[in-house]
Amino acid sequence: MVSTLAATPNPATWLVADIGGTHARFGLVDGPGRPVAQVQRLRADAHAHPADAVRAYLASVLPSSVRPTRACLAVATPLDGDEVAFTNNRWRFSRSALQRELGLDHLQLINDFEALALALPRLTADGLRAHGSLPRPRGTLAVVGPGTGLGVAGLIETAAGWQAIPGEGGHATLAPTDDFEAAVLAVARREVEHVSAERLLSGIGLPLLHRAVAAASGRLAEGEALTTEAIVQRGVGGTDTGCVQTLSVFCAMLGSFAGNVALTLGARGGLYVGGGIVPRMADLFFASAFRDRFEAKGRYRGYLQSIPSALILDPHAALTGAALALEQRLGTPA
């Protein structure tokens, strides 16, 4: 058991975190409506337990005599009850035990894409790149995001403010739109029982997509298996035709999937793409078939054409959403 932090409580400073499958981002907020500051990114696998990562972060940004007493952690896993187990990293913890260990008066846990959804109305033009006009947050919004996994969430405008809709849409079954994609999915099914969207459209999925695209194209993947980083680097740089094709298929299938999410939620206010993978593709993503496939829904093409879409460039957006979640929970102005 890790000992409780011994320091002077500081209720005016909030701790916020965005914990994914690979990295954990931390920041501090000096009360409601204030921006997130002192942001740092730590590797999850460098720390045995979330409390260790929190301590390492706080030790680097605050005097040892001071500690926050309120925190919101956005975590990349479903939440149900006291026990929390991450989908794509080895961390497991008890919500109540973590609160005691960190000496917190208030610990709020939300899904990481719930946090990202809450951040959408607060994103500025500097933190977005749109297909055409920027979305104007209204009504219902949706966000999808290929990172280590594939996150999905919605956001609804209500009389009481913005309400996030967390979910696990990344684990919904992925559907092909043509014979080539059907062949890609057939290859993937030889390796995994259920080909969800996350199995191909994520950091953990890109190597499988690369192998499946190669096989469906009638060629063998040459040499050793490529990592996600190598696939993105070679594809963006145009130095490997197989990687270029993989990223092309990735963007197209992501567009179809995002269109499904927008239709399911009725997200007429906008569809946002988050996560850490697509921003690394830069211009390739905007030159891809993503938007065409997003709209390619037969009789509902016009419906999708009217929905604006944008890429989230702000890497700390989920921290902003976690801060808003604290504001909403603690009853302070949003």
| Successive 10-residue mean pLDDT values, the chain, 334 residues | 47 88 91 90 91 94 82 91 84 92 94 95 94 94 95 95 93 97 97 97 97 91 80 96 97 98 97 96 95 98 98 95 92 54
* pLDDT for residue 85: 87
* pLDDT for residue 13: 87
Give yes or no for a contact between 81 and 109, defined as CB atoms under 8 angstroms apart: no
Which has the closest alpha carbon to 144: 289, 320, 310? 310
* pLDDT for residue 80: 87
Give yes or no for a contact between 5 and 66, defined as CB atoms under 8 angstroms apart: no
Give yes or no for a contact between 131 and 310, defined as CB atoms under 8 angstroms apart: yes
Which has the closest alpha carbon to 157: 317, 77, 270? 270
Residue showing tokens 């992925």: 174
Which pair of tokens denotes residue 48?
């045995």
DSSP 227: P
Which pair of tokens denotes residue 46?
């460098």
Could you give the CA distance from residue 252 to residue 292 in angstroms, rounded to a whole number? 8
The pTM assigned to this predicted structure is 0.90
Residue 8 phi/psi, 5° resolution?
Answer: -75, 125
Strand partners, 72: 16, 108
DSSP 104: -
36-43 and 23-29 beta bridge pairing: antiparallel
Q: In what order do the strands lie in the sheet with 270-273?
A: 128-130, 309-312, 270-273, 140-146, 150-158, 161-166
Class (C level, CATH) for 125-313:
alpha beta
Map out the domains of the chain as residue ranges.
8-117+316-330, 125-313
The CATH topology of domain 8-117+316-330 is Nucleotidyltransferase; domain 5 (3.30.420)
Give yes or no for a contact between 140 and 155, defined as CB atoms under 8 angstroms apart: yes
DSSP 26: E
Which has the closest alpha carbon to 276: 215, 332, 324, 228? 228
Residue 94 phi/psi, 5° resolution?
Answer: -95, 130
Could you give the CA distance from residue 10 to residue 31 in angstroms, rounded to a whole number? 11
Which pair of tokens denotes residue 260?
């499904």
| Cα torsion 48, 53, 54, 55: sign | positive
Which has the closest alpha carbon to 268: 112, 158, 178, 155? 155
* pLDDT for residue 66: 75
Q: What is the CA radius of gyration of the chain?
A: 20
* pLDDT for residue 221: 57
140-146 and 270-273 beta bridge pairing: parallel
* pLDDT for residue 223: 56
* pLDDT for residue 113: 93
